[in-house]
Amino acid sequence: MHWTDERVELLKKLWSEGLSASAIATELGGVTRNAVIGKVHRLGLSGRAKTPAPAPQRRAKPTRTPSHPLRPQAPTPVIRGNTALAPQLTPLAAVEEQAEPKLRPVEDVVVPMSERVTIMELREHMCRWPLGDPGREDFRFCGSRVGVQGPYCSHHAAIAYQPIMDRRRDRDKERRLARA
DNA sequence: CCCTGATTCGC
DNA sequence: GCGAATCAGG
């Protein structure tokens, strides 16, 4: 595989859209995320809009002795990554209005440890309990750790699997115990 | 342990 | 120029 003009263009596009290096590597195919990152650097488009604050200037102790002197830091890039996704400043009044904590549905209170992941973030070991309306932007999955196996975490598995027989058996058992 | 980008340097 | 190995960090 090599960097054709088309692949480079796609790389630029996806990178500017904020996709991770690994996501881009998957999209392109035939390359690793390392290759993508390397190319990004060579193209000089690293450093997407991230921390507006000046760099803390870390890397005080190189773990290896550089074979070449560090080249002087590149001039501050004039072009920042896309700002389209930058959070909009919210008027103070609006913030205060929003500050009042709202009562949460019982489910959210019972499962505060919910990770609430998107489908892209969903992993093999994560609970697939859907939260919200699929197709909506804020649709998520639970994302908590699943039990021994199965698609749900223990909490949602308990909700999902409630065979009628079990419920009646439990009820009967309780009645029996209460009598004894 | 999963992931992220950054850097180095043999090829 | 390329990208695996490695690093630092979340």
> A43-91: per-residue pLDDT in tens?
998 776 654 444 343 344 444 444 444 444 444 444 444 444 444 444 4
Residue A91 lies in a domain: no
Q: Which of residues 60-119 of A touch strand C (CB under 7 A)?
A: 61, 63-64
Q: Is there a domain that residue A71 lies in?
A: no
With respect to residue A68, please indicate whether it lies within any of the assigned structural domains: no
Distance of CA A167 to the CA centre of its chain: 37
Q: Report pTM.
A: 0.41
Nucleotide showing the shortest C1' distance to residue A34 CA: C3
Among residues A28, A43, A58, which one ends one of the domains? A43
Residue nearest to nucleotide C3 (CA to C1'): A35
Question: For A99-122, what is each residue's pLDDT tens digit?
Answer: 444 454 555 545 545 567 777 777
DSSP 8-state symbol, A143: -
* Secondary structure (3-state) at A141: strand
Nucleotide nearest to A64 (CA to C1'): B8
Output the furthest CA–CA distance in chain A (Å, rounded). 85
Find the Å distance, CA of residue A81 to C1' of nucleotide B11. Answer: 32
Number of folded domains that form chain A = 2
The amino acid present at A112, given as its one-letter code, is P
CA distance A63 to A153: 41
| Chain B, protein-covered positions (CB within 7 A) | 2-10
pLDDT tens for residues A139-178?
A: 888 888 877 767 888 888 888 887 766 666 666 666 666 6
Helix (H) or strand (E) holding A114: none
Amino acid at A67: S
Residue with tokens 């190189």: A62
Q: Is residue A157 part of a domain?
A: yes
Q: Which domain holds residue A143?
A: 116-163
